Amino acid sequence: MKMVTININGIEYNLKGDESEDYLHKVASYVDGKIKDIMDNNIKLSTSAAAVLAALNVADDMFKKEEIYIELKKNISEIKERESKLKENLKTLQQKLQYAKSENDELKNNLKENIKEINNKDTLNKLENKLLELEKSIEDYKNENQKLNLENKQMKFEMKSYKYKIINLQQRLIENQIDLVKEKKQNHPLLNVER
């Protein structure tokens, strides 16, 4: 456990903690800034009253960030659900595309086998039209497949973005909770804090 001396509102405090010295100084600087802002706006406030107001501000920040965090988690859940549905649609389309290709290959084989026997131009034209329709259907499936792949990539990118935002918010939430605990510890008359 490390011992670090910090300065809040002109008073030195010795902190013990497992966190790095830079981190503890960063937390102290944040609390110091909150208290100084409050005291600058109302010079008649006592240090303890300013500390209580600063603790309220820190708690307010924490709760607001927690709401944002919850909303982001909800968004990620919705995105995962959408991604799952898109994957299902993509799988179905790939199966349809495979089926259409198989059917097209079968028709081509049948056409090649029977072309010598076909003398009737109308029948030949009908078969060619059906073949063209199948090729168009395959092209449509390919286009839809590409579109779903693009949507899937975009969803993955959005998910990564939300994950980074959640990690950032979690880190801020932890910092705010640490600030709040330290603020309570400083203002509690029964806790032993070296000054």
- Indicate if the pLDDT at residue 142 is higher than 70: yes
pTM above 0.85, yes or no: no
- Tell me if 170 sits within 8 A of 70, measured CB to CB: no
pLDDT at res. 77? 92
**pLDDT tens per residue across span 77-114:** 999 999 999 999 989 989 998 988 888 888 888 877 77
Within a 10 A sphere around the Cβ of 63, how many other Cβ atoms? Answer: 12
Check whether domain 2-187 has CATH 1.10.287, yes or no: yes
Residue 146 CA: distances (Å) to CA of 52, 72, 137, 140: 58, 29, 14, 10
Q: How far is CA 142 from the centre of its chain?
A: 30
151 and 145 in contact (C-beta within 8 Å)? Answer: no
What is the structure's pLDDT at 191?
Answer: 57
Judge whether residue 66 has pLDDT over 90. yes
pLDDT of residue 195: 45
Residue carrying the six token digits 């199948």: 134
Contact in structure between 56 and 39 (CB atoms under 8 Å): no
| CA–CA dist 28, 5 (Å, integer) | 10
Whether the CA torsion 136, 140, 142, 143 is positive or negative: it is positive
* Structure confidence at residue 111 (pLDDT): 79
The letter for the amino acid at 152 is N
For the ranges 64-73, 106-115, 150-159, 164-173, the one whose mean pLDDT is highest: 64-73
Q: What is the pLDDT of residues 163-189, one digit of tens each?
A: 888 998 889 888 888 888 888 887 766
Looking at residue 115, its pLDDT comes to 63
The least confident of 137-141, 149-153, 184-188 is: 184-188
Q: What pLDDT is recorded for position 189?
A: 64
